[in-house]
Structure 1
Amino acid sequence: MNAITTVELKPTNMMIPLSSIVPLSFGNCRTNRNSESYQELLNSIKTRGVIQPILVRPFDDKFEIIAGYGRFEASTELGLETIPAFVKVLTDAEALEHQLEENLTRSDLDIIDECKAVQQLSAFYNGDRKAIADRLVWPLRKVNERIEILRCTSQVLEAVRTGAITVGHALLLAPFSEKLQQGTLAKVISEKWTVAYLRERASKGQQLLALAKFDTNECNTCPHNSAAQSGLFGLEDHKAACSKLSCFKEKTNEWLEVRKDELADQYGTVLLVQQVAQEDRHTVDAPTVGEEQFNSGCMTCEKRVVLIDDRLGRSLGTTYINQCIDNICYTQCVKALSQPEIEEVEEESADSIALDIDASNTPADATSAKPSTPKKAKPKKTVNCSVSSKVVETNKRVLRNVSASLLMPEPHFQSAMTYAALRRLASGYKPLITELSPTDHFSQVLKSAMALDETTLMAEIANVTLHLSSKQSDDSLNFTDMMISLLSDCQNPTDAAIAKWMPTKEILSQYTIDGINVLCVESGFVAAFDNEKEGEFAKLTTKGKPQLIDTILKFGFDWSGFAPKEFIALIK
């Protein structure tokens, strides 16, 4: 075990060599630094050293720096060998959150860097802006504005960064096409337009109705339709345009919501283009990550999303399917596919060879015989998949019932449950024997109680009951996860779980159409369904999720002996 793995489970303060620190895999959310502030930091570290530890996380045999880039760079520049660090195991989302919070609290983070950091969080949280707001303790409006600004062109964003225009200008320019943004930006700067004046001008802008995605029949008689007036003057070749942008945007947003719902059945998560940076998404397909990975992993992964363009203009409504927004997983999958085959050799142990010689009448020189021909085998590639939380929770409910059905007939389980329930109420209780968990956490107490013999357990029940006369406590617990964790103590839990799983309307509804397709292929349902007429199942998947599910449930297919891999994976 290397030095890093020893701190993986417990946050630790320690001095770390600068040579053991590497940048975070997805970089620092701050791209600009105030030179004056940095010089003050240099002088401070030169005089007093690094007072505030940097934040790092274990990474292979090194550490990735999450927060404290300024202190790290200054220490490197000054030639220091070590730096105080707080080592903590963090997920990518947690690391980015810590980094953003660090920069926000220490000094003003560049507004565009802040927006891009929020955009990165949007990818981690699958576009759930409310979750981002809750995590950062921000108003939802602030999160929405930060993401909205990134609809601007790079030139507009740079103008905000340099102070040539304000955030208010950018928010007004954001919904428009790239061409219109560019032309207006030049005028805003050269003519020094105020936000109020830009708002007034923007309200008088027009959008070609030919580019509208919503039904424009109602627009034919609308007074804000330029074609209604042009016809009076014989301008028949005039292109109809809407001059009431607020109405155009409202109808566009209504169309987008309907379109997102349609795409959600097929792909699960639907995000707007500006919610995920170009560098944080990749088109994923079988040639890129391999047939097995794509069909058994990516097709059911909640990180495979569809993006829809909501920018007004010709790109409005454009969809980008099969977009992976998990940079790290994508990179691992691509790398795994490109790895060469590994030659594996089956080796016999020295003991087994000696045993074979002793037990046979082979000549003495037989011991020099050459070993058997090595066997070549392809390394099994891990199928990465971030399963939808809805699917996970549905599977957990089924497994909880499996656990209960296997354990309830056991008197010992009932005694252990009684003891755990009593221990939950007992504050400061010390068990009679050391084998029992000293913690009051329900799940751990139940697990340790299950390992005791009945006599010892009954003595503990009597003792904790006596203890309850004076103190009480409460603890949050998750019965579902607790019951699933106990499956490992049962006989043949996997077989029992598979026997319990059956496709229902509730279960299938949690999957996307592609996810249902994977279930049907792996279970053999597609082969059985197409046995009557080849290609019928493929046609069925185009008719919408409700009809697909209804047909599957009505078809006489024997699902026994099958359960989804993500269902089985929950059994620890």
Structure 2
Amino acid sequence: MRQRVPHFARTQKMQTPTVVVGKIRPGRNPRKYFDPAEMAELTESVRVNGVLQSLLIRPVEEDESGREYEVVAGERRYRAALSAHGEDYPVPVIIKAMTDAEADSFALIENIQRADMAPSEEAVQAAKIVGWLQGDRDEAARQLGWSRSTLDKRLALMNCSESVLEALNTRTIQLGHAELLATLEKGTQDKLLPVIVSEKKAVAELKKTIEAAACSLEKAIFEKTQCTTCQHNSSLQTEMFGEAIATGNCTNRACYTEKTDRKLEGIAYGLKDEYQVIRIVRAGDNETRVQLLVEGPTGVGEEQAKACHGCQNFGAAVSGLPGSLGKVYGGQCFDTACNSQKVAARIKAERDAKAATQAPASSSSSSDKPATAKGAAGKATAPAEKPVTSISESEKVKAYRTDVWRKALRKEVAQNAELANAYLISIALHGLARTITGDTMGKFFEKLTEQKASSTFPGCLTAVQALDPGKRQQLTVATTVAAIDGMDVTSLRDLCRYHKLDLKLHWNLQKAQDFLEMLTKSEMKVLADELGIRKALGDGFAKLFNKSKPEVIAGLLAVDGFDYTGKVPKVLGF
């Protein structure tokens, strides 16, 4: 007799989607160590009972193996199902579209809520989340449900060497061991690790050893003249005490750290003319930045790389890590999510262009099919959208731009009394007349009449009534100018557009040294590309930008044979 399936079970089966294991790939799990005994037990359970709890997966671009989903949560079940039943086995799933950042965050939170996840595994994933959040540790801690202190301690583990992280993953050493080793250079960590394991050194014993060698004066990056006679110099302590710490170290960690931090800040300050962003990177900040590359699997492409130099997230990293203390890494992108999108766009554009050039000739000649992307010369005529190469809208650039708009608009309105009168009525109708202040009008009145405005309303009425019509008309124009001065940026932009203000008549790079002075050298490169100065300089471009910022500015303002007329940066437009 056929076994009757309960109605509830049949309903559940219909409602729960399944995907065969072979269509799914691992990828988001921060857990790297899987206890062999526990995995064997789970695999046997899945062999007998199947997968009872759904995997959380997300759709991804299909890879060469035909896998079009990625595990976000449930990799142990995924592995057990693959081992027990093979690639054709259907597993219950919950399919949810997620960004990389959302998937990383969800995977870590899901694993934290389960037992026995190694702190090193938490650290690796937490660093990714901090990277997606562009270094905002407070927001990362909030999303993870951790205190800021817990997050910082986990991120500090990111300075551990691979072997130390693996030892912590497999529970060969304790968390305390790893936290202490993280303060040392990775080469030193690898030398100490076998000793710790073989001699089973306690955390307290290791702490004493590491504190003795942590503040090496030989490797200090700050000026050490005062250290030679300091009582905290262990070289001097050797003479004072029979037993001393290792020679050539500072025993005053607070002072050593303060001097190191001051030196790092000085290095960062020295780069302010070169880059938009300069950050001192510490343990755990490794995912907050990525080297901007032009070519290769992680390259953004030549045109996009030029555009990236003008981005407000482009800059340099100053290392605050043992082993590379004070080292500067230029050409850094501090928006890793954007960088990954640009890399993916470049790869897709190259793949599409390649597919277009390899398309059969018949496909382009067929009248009932759309034309391919091949031009007369056989090259693709529909490339990816060209990156916008322009300076980013930083707050200082916005302020400068607004000032340019106001000055240009004031000048044109001041020359047309009839237009000024029409604009003034419009301004009053829209309720913007409140931006006209008595102080501003008083200055205009004094300039036109050579007398101070009255402090009383009747006095103002009398004074204005006594003016000849020409002077009153001039004051009406001045009132419009005063309104433009006080107008909010949105209304100012609307007025500029209505007026069809042509900035080419009012702004010229040769007269705008103040504009260049607010830019970094990286942003100036983008400006030179946009305006055609790089091309005009030719081989002299690189030579110019190897000079100091004032010399670069002087060079950009005096390019032989270059016509500056009408060259207005896109960032100044409205």
Per the normalisation by structure 1, the TM-score is 0.60
Aligned match of 2:146: 138
CA contact (8 A) 1:226 1:240 kept: yes
Q: Equivalent of 1:292, from 269, 288, 302? A: 302
Aligned match of 1:330: 343
Where 1:211 maps in the other structure, the secondary structure is coil
Aligned match of 1:250: 258
- Which ranges in structure 1 are unaligned for 5 or more consecutive residues? 1-12, 233-237, 352-371, 418-478
Q: Equivalent of 2:25, from 23, 26, 29? A: 23
- AA aligned opposite 2:109: E
Aligned match of 1:376: 378
Q: CA deviation at 1:331?
A: 5.7
Aligned match of 2:222: 214
- AA aligned opposite 1:198: L
Aligned match of 1:65: 71
Larger Rg: 2
Question: Could you list the per-position Cα deviations for residues 281-310 of structure 1 after superposition, in whole angstroms to 9, with x for gaps in the alignment?
Answer: 556146885873354234235665544433
Question: Could you list the per-position Cα deviations for residues 482-531 of structure 1 after superposition, in whole angstroms to 9, with x for gaps in the alignment?
Answer: 999x99xx9999x9899999999998788643123211332245678x79
CA contact (8 A) 1:281 1:327 kept: no
Where 1:213 maps in the other structure, the secondary structure is coil
Q: CA deviation at 1:115?
A: 0.9
- AA aligned opposite 2:270: E
Aligned match of 2:34: 33
CA contact (8 A) 2:58 2:72 kept: yes
Distance 1:161 1:296, change over 3 A: same
Q: How does 1:59-98 map to 2 (within 5 A)?
A: 59=61, 62-76=68-82, 77-78=84-85, 80-81=89-90, 83-88=92-97, 90-98=98-106
Name the CA distance, whole Å, in 1 between partners of 2:400 and 2:24.
42
CA contact (8 A) 1:72 1:83 kept: no
- AA aligned opposite 1:93: A
CA contact (8 A) 1:17 1:82 kept: yes
Aligned Cα root-mean-square deviation (Å): 5.7
Q: How does 1:517-532 map to 2 (within 5 A)?
A: 517-524=525-532
Distance 1:84 1:162, change over 3 A: closer
Aligned match of 1:451: none
Q: How does 1:112-127 map to 2 (within 5 A)?
A: 112-127=120-135
Aligned match of 2:320: 310
CA contact (8 A) 2:216 2:250 kept: yes
Q: CA deviation at 1:549?
A: 7.5
Aligned match of 1:369: none
Q: Equivalent of 1:204, from 212, 219, 240? A: 212
Distance 1:280 1:247, change over 3 A: closer
Q: CA deviation at 1:160?
A: 2.0
Aligned match of 1:447: none
Name the CA distance, whole Å, in 2 between partners of 1:38 and 1:390.
57
Where 1:65 maps in the other structure, the secondary structure is strand
* More displaced 10-residue stretch of structure 1: 201-210 or 115-124: 201-210
CA contact (8 A) 2:111 2:117 kept: yes
Q: CA deviation at 1:194?
A: 3.0
- AA aligned opposite 2:548: K
Distance 1:291 1:189, change over 3 A: closer
Per the normalisation by structure 2, the TM-score is 0.60
- AA aligned opposite 1:123: G
Counting aligned pairs with the same residue, the percent is 21
Q: CA deviation at 1:102?
A: 1.8
Where 1:193 maps in the other structure, the secondary structure is coil
Name the CA distance, whole Å, in 1 between partners of 2:159 and 2:127.
11
Q: How does 1:481-560 map to 2 (within 5 A)?
A: 512-524=520-532, 539=544, 542-544=547-549, 560=566
Distance 1:302 1:110, change over 3 A: farther
Question: Could you list the per-position Cα deviations for residues 142-176 of structure 1 after superposition, in whole angstroms to 9, with x for gaps in the alignment?
Answer: 22212211212222222222333222222222122
Question: Could you list the per-position Cα deviations for residues 342-394 of structure 1 after superposition, in whole angstroms to 9, with x for gaps in the alignment?
Answer: 4499979979xxxxxxxxxxxxxxxxxxxx99443345345568999864996
CA contact (8 A) 1:282 1:323 kept: yes
Q: Equivalent of 2:171, from 163, 170, 173? A: 163
Distance 1:283 1:397, change over 3 A: closer
Aligned match of 1:362: none
CA contact (8 A) 1:266 1:512 kept: yes
CA contact (8 A) 1:293 1:333 kept: no
Q: CA deviation at 1:214?
A: 1.0
Question: Could you list the per-position Cα deviations for residues 29-62 of structure 1 after superposition, in whole angstroms to 9, with x for gaps in the alignment?
Answer: 2212345277458737964854445142454694
Name the CA distance, whole Å, in 2 between partners of 1:231 and 1:63.
67
Distance 1:52 1:14, change over 3 A: closer
Q: Equivalent of 2:329, from 320, 329, 332? A: 320
Name the CA distance, whole Å, in 1 between partners of 2:391 and 2:21.
39
Distance 1:507 1:175, change over 3 A: farther
Distance 1:279 1:520, change over 3 A: closer
Aligned match of 2:448: none
Distance 1:524 1:389, change over 3 A: closer
Q: How does 1:88-487 map to 2 (within 5 A)?
A: 88=97, 90-205=98-213, 207-226=215-234, 228=236, 240-263=248-271, 265-267=273-275, 268-270=277-279, 272=281, 274-275=283-284, 281=290, 284-285=293-294, 289=299, 292-293=302-303, 295-301=305-311, 306-313=316-323, 315-323=324-332, 325=336, 326-327=339-340, 329-330=342-343, 333=346, 340=354, 342-343=356-357, 374-378=376-380, 380-382=383-385, 391=394
Name the CA distance, whole Å, in 1 between partners of 2:389 and 2:186.
35
Name the CA distance, whole Å, in 2 between partners of 1:106 and 1:567.
53
Where 2:321 maps in the other structure, the secondary structure is coil
Q: How many residues in Structure 1 have an aligned counterpart in Structure 2?
A: 456
Where 2:120 maps in the other structure, the secondary structure is helix
- AA aligned opposite 1:17: V
Distance 1:14 1:557, change over 3 A: farther
Distance 1:191 1:350, change over 3 A: closer
- AA aligned opposite 1:333: R
Distance 1:75 1:159, change over 3 A: closer
- AA aligned opposite 1:170: A
Name the CA distance, whole Å, in 2 between partners of 1:552 and 1:524.
11
Aligned match of 1:420: none
- AA aligned opposite 2:29: N
Where 1:321 maps in the other structure, the secondary structure is strand
- Which ranges in structure 2 are unaligned for 5 or more consecutive residues? 1-14, 241-245, 369-373, 410-421, 432-487
Distance 1:106 1:388, change over 3 A: farther
CA contact (8 A) 1:391 1:511 kept: no
Distance 1:228 1:32, change over 3 A: closer
CA contact (8 A) 1:227 1:239 kept: yes
Name the CA distance, whole Å, in 2 between partners of 1:69 and 1:509.
54
Name the CA distance, whole Å, in 2 between partners of 1:46 and 1:280.
46
Name the CA distance, whole Å, in 2 between partners of 1:557 and 1:193.
73
CA contact (8 A) 2:57 2:93 kept: no
